[in-house]
Amino acid sequence: MINDLTNYFYSLESHGIKLGLSRTHKILEVCDNPHTKIDSIQVIGTNGKGSTCAMIANILKHAGYKVGLYTSPHLNKLNERIRINGQCIDDNSILSFIKKYDPYIREFSISFFEVMTALATWYFDKNKVDISILETGLGGRLDSVSACNSKILIFTEISLDHQHILGHSIEKIAQEKAGAIQKKSICLSAIQQDIVTDILNQQAEQFNIKIEYIKSTENHPISLNGKHQLINQTLAVACIKHLKNLSVHNSDIRLGLSNLKWPGRVQKIFSKPSIFFDVAHNETSFLSLYNFVKNFNVKGKLILILALQKNKNISSIIKYLVKIFNIIILTQTNTRNYLPAKELQQVFRGHKTTIIKDPYVAVEKSKQYNQDDCVMIAGSHYLGPMISNIFKISFEKI
For the chain, which residues make up each domain, given as ranges? Answer: 2-258, 267-391
Name the class of domain 267-391.
alpha beta
Q: Could you tell me which of 209, 154, 137, 203 has the C-alpha nearest to residue 175? A: 203
User: Burial code of 288-305, b = ≥16 C-beta within 10 A, e = fewer?
Assistant: bbbebbeeeeeeeebbbb
Kindly report whether the peptide bond that precedes residue 263 is cis, defined as omega within 30 degrees of 0. no
Q: Among the listed ranges 163-172, 255-264, 308-317, which one has the minimum average pLDDT value?
A: 163-172
Pair type for strands 302-306 and 186-190: unpaired
- CB-based burial of residue 252 (10 Å sphere; 0-12 exposed, 13-18 middle, 19+ buried)? buried
The one-letter amino acid at 330: L
Nearest to 278 by CA among 58, 87, 135, 75: 75
> What is the average per-residue pLDDT within 350-378?
96
Give the chain's length.
398
Question: Phi-psi bin for 165: left (phi > 0), alpha (psi -120 to 50), beta?
Answer: alpha
How far apart (Å, rounded) are the C-alpha atoms in residues 398 and 394?
10
Does the pTM surpass 0.85? The reply is yes
Domains 2-258 and 267-391 belong to one CATH topology = no
DSSP state of 309: B
Provide the 10 A C-beta neighbour count for residue 211. 20
Q: How far is CA 37 from CA 34, 54, 125, in A?
A: 5, 22, 7
For residue range 288-300, what is the model confidence (pLDDT) as tens digits?
999 999 988 899 9
Taking the alpha carbons of 28, 33, 35, 36 in that order, is the dihedral positive or negative? positive
**pLDDT tens digits along 8-33:** 888 886 655 666 799 999 999 999 99
Say whether domain 2-258 belongs to CATH 3.40.1190.10. yes
pLDDT tens sequence across 229-271? 999 999 999 999 999 999 999 999 999 999 999 999 999 999 9
